[in-house]
Amino acid sequence: MKNLKFAVLFFLLPSNLFSMHIMEGFLPPLWAGFWWLAALPFIWLGIVSVKKIVTAKPELKPLIAMAGAFAFVLSALKIPSVTGSSSHMTGVALGTLLFGPFTMALLGFIVLLFQALLLAHGGLTTLGANTISMAVAGPMMAYSVFTLCRKSGVNDRIGIFSAAFLCDIFTYVVTSAQLALAHPAADGGAAVSLVKFLTVFAVTQIPLAVIEGLLTVVVFNILSSYAIDEMKVLGFMKLTLEEQYEK
Amino acid sequence: MRSKKIMNIVLIGIAVMIAVMPLVIIKGSDFGGADAKAEDIVKESSPGYEPWIESFWAPPGGETESLLFALQAAFGSGVVCMVIGYYKGRRDGRRLSVSDK
Nearest to B33 among A26, A86, A183 (CB): A86
Identify the three-state secondary structure at position A124.
Answer: coil
Q: Which residues of A touch B3 (CB under 8 A)?
A: none
Which chain A residues touch B8 with a CB distance below 8 Å? 218, 221-222
Chain B residues whose beta carbon lies within 8 Å of the beta carbon of residue A79: 19
Contact with chain B for residue A110, Cβ under 8 A: no
pLDDT band at A4 (very low <50, low <70, confident <90, very high): low
Q: What b/e string do you get for A23-47 counting C-beta neighbours within 10 Å, with b at 16 or more?
A: bbbbbbeebbebbbeebeebbebbe
The pLDDT score that the predictor gives to residue A67 is 96
Residue A93 has what pLDDT? 96
> What does the DSSP assignment read for B37-74?
GHHHHHHHHSTT---S---S---SSHHHHHHHHHHHHH
Which among A213, A217, A243 is positioned nearest to A228, based on CA atoms? A243
Residues 134-193 of A with CB under 8 A from B: 179-180, 182-186, 193
Rounded to whole angstroms, how far apart are CA atoms A196 and A186?
13
Higher pLDDT, A14 or A109: A109
Which neighbouring-strand residues pair with A80?
A86
Q: Which residues of chain B have pLDDT under 50?
A: 34-37
Question: What average pLDDT score do residues A63-84 get?
Answer: 91
For residue B14, give the nearest of A105, A211, A89, A94 by alpha carbon.
A211
Local confidence band at A92 (pLDDT 50, 70, 90 cut-offs): very high
- Measured between CB atoms, which of A8, A23, A228 is closest to B26? A8
Total-model pTM: 0.87
Tens digit of pLDDT for each residue in A97-150?
999 999 999 999 999 999 898 888 889 999 999 999 999 999 999 999 999 999
Kindly compute the dihedral angle of the four CA atoms of residues A80, A83, A87, A92, in this order, to the nearest 10 degrees. -110
pLDDT given for residue B36 in this prediction: 44
Q: Which of B7, B24, B26 to mutate against chain A (most A CBs within 10 Å)?
A: B26
pLDDT of res. A207: 94
Alpha carbon of B48 to those of A30, B42, B52: distances in Å? 17, 9, 12
Name the CA radius of gyration of chain B, rounded: 23
pLDDT above 50 for A9: no
Q: Does B14 touch chain A (CB under 8 A)?
A: yes
pLDDT at B1: 66
CB contact under 8 A, B83 and A85: no
Query: Best mutation site among B67, B72, B91, B92 for testing chain A: the one with the most A CBs within 10 Å?
Result: B72
Beta-carbon pairs below 8 A across chains A and B: 193
**CB burial readout B33-69, b (16+ within 10 A) else e:** bbbeebbebbeebeeebebeeebeeebeeeeebeebb
Lowest mean pLDDT among A14-23, A159-168, B18-27: A14-23
- Cβ neighbour number for residue A230 with a 10 Å cutoff: 20
Q: How many CB atoms lie within 10 A of CB B12?
A: 14
The pLDDT assigned to B40 comes to 62
Contact B4 A225 (CB under 8 A): yes
Chosen for mutation from B79, B86, B96 (greatest number of chain A CBs closer than 10 Å) is: B79
On the question of pLDDT at A42 being above 50, the answer is: yes
3-state DSSP assignment of residue A78: strand
pLDDT digits (tens, 9 = 90+) for B34-48: 444 455 667 777 777
ipTM computed for the complex: 0.87
- Compute the distance between CA of residue A201 and CA of residue A44 in angstroms, rounded to an integer: 29
